Amino acid sequence: MSELDNPKKILKVVVLGYGYWGPHMARNISQLKNFELAAIVDFSDSRKMVAAEKHPEASIFNSLEDALRSVACDAVIVATPSHTHFQLAKAALMAGLHVIVEKPLTTNLDEARELTDLANSRDLILLVDHTYVYSPAVEVMREMVLGGELGDLVYFDSTRVNLGLFQPDVSVLWDLAVHDLAILQRITGRVPNRVSAAGGLHQRAKYEAASFLTLYYDDMFFAHINVSWLSPMKIRRTTISGTRKTILFDDMMPDERLRIYDAGVEQNDSALLQYRLGDISIPKLENSEALRTELIHFYESISAKSQPISSGQAAIEIIATLQAAQESMESDSRVIEIIF
C-alpha cells in the first residue's frame, strides 16, 4: 500500500470497466491534480478502442490481473455490473489497494460486511460511489436539517423515475433507490428500522422495474421512495419536510435545484391545526461536479487515513435496507425489520 502523507503524492488509479460510468471516472481522474490514470480495464474490444482514443496516457488491459502485473498503482475504481463488485473489489483490497466501488457496493449484506472488514483490517480506504452525497444541494440540505432549521422532521418523499436501462442482475431498487437511501442517510444521519415495499415486473424483465418503498423509524418520521425504469417522464424530485420548513430538491431544474418553503402546520389556542405559509427562498449552490468532489474526498481520506463519507459501513446500512425491501417485495409487501 502506498502512503500518501505527502500532499504532493500522485495517486495512480486503475479504472475497471469502461461502459457507462467508467468514462466519467476516467475523465475526472485525468483532469485532477495529484491523480494519474494508470490503466483502464475492459473485456470489450470496442470499449478498449474508445478508451485508448480518449486516454492515450493510460495503459489498456483485458483484466484486473493483467493491469496489476503490468503497472504500478495505488487504487482501483470498480465500475462494472453489480454482481461482479464483490470479487473485483476483494481482489483489489487483497492486493493492498484502496478501492472505490460503483453503487451498490454488493448485492447482499454478507459480502458488503466482508469487504468492509477486509478494508479496515488492512488499513485501506473503501469508498462507495454514492455520488449524490457529494453534491452541493445535498450538503445544503444536510446543514439545514442538522442545524434544526426544518424543525422536527416529519417525512421524506422522493421520486426517481424515467425510461431507464433495465439492469440484468438487480431490480430497480438496487439501481435507483440506492441513490435516495444514500441522500436520506446523509441529510438526516438516521437509519430506518423497518421497511415495506411493493414492486412490479415488466414482461421482458427478470427483476422488478418499478417499486415503492416505505421506511419506518423509531419515532413519527417516515420516508417514501418511488423508483421506476418505466416512466416516459424523467423525474428526480425529493422533498424533506419538518415542522418549520420544507425543502424541495429537483435535480432536473439546474438553476433552481433547491427551494426552501417557510411553511408548516401549527396548532392554535383552540387545539385546531392550521396552515402557516411563508416565503420561498432559492439558495445559490456551488457549481461543482459531485463526482469530482467525491474523488478529491477519496484522496483526502487516504491521506488522513480517515473513513470517507460513503464508507463501507454507510453502504452496509443501505444494503441492509435494500435487502429487507427486496424481501418485503417478494412477500406481499410485508413489513420487514432491518438488521444491520
- pLDDT, residue 1, reads 36
Closest to 208 measured CA to CA, from 179, 174, 171, 170: 171
Cα–Cα distance measured from residue 79 to residue 220, given in angstroms and rounded to the nearest whole number: 38
Predicted confidence at residue 270, as pLDDT, reads 60
Q: What is the mean pLDDT of residues 230-241?
A: 96
159-181: per-residue pLDDT in tens?
A: 999 987 777 778 899 999 999 99
Given pLDDT bands bounded at 50, 70 and 90, which one contains residue 2? very low
Q: Are 156 and 239 in contact (CB under 8 A)?
A: yes
Model confidence at 219, pLDDT cuts 50, 70, 90, reads very high
Average pLDDT over the chain, rounded to an integer: 93
Across 144-149, average pLDDT: 96
Please give the pLDDT value at position 272.
Answer: 61
Sheet of strand 336-337, all strands in order from the earlier edge strand to the far edge: 273-281, 258-267, 246-250, 230-242, 153-163, 222-228, 208-216, 194-201, 336-337
Look at 72-81, 134-143, 160-169 and tell me which has the smallest mean pLDDT. Answer: 160-169
pLDDT at site 203: 66
CB atoms within 10 A of CB 181: 29
- The runs of H, that is alpha helices, within 95-177 are 109-121, 136-146, 172
Give span(s): CATH 3.30.360.10, the chain: 133-287+320-337
pLDDT in tens, 259-281: 999 987 665 566 566 677 788 99
Question: Which of the four pLDDT bands, split at 50, 70 and 90, describes residue 8?
Answer: low
- What cell was used for 140? 445544503
Helix (H) or strand (E) holding 337: strand 336-337
Question: According to CATH, where is 3.40.50.720 located in the chain?
Answer: 11-132+291-311
Domain 11-132+291-311 has CATH 3.40.50.720: yes
Residue 200, SS3 per DSSP:
strand
**What class is the 133-287+320-337 domain?**
alpha beta
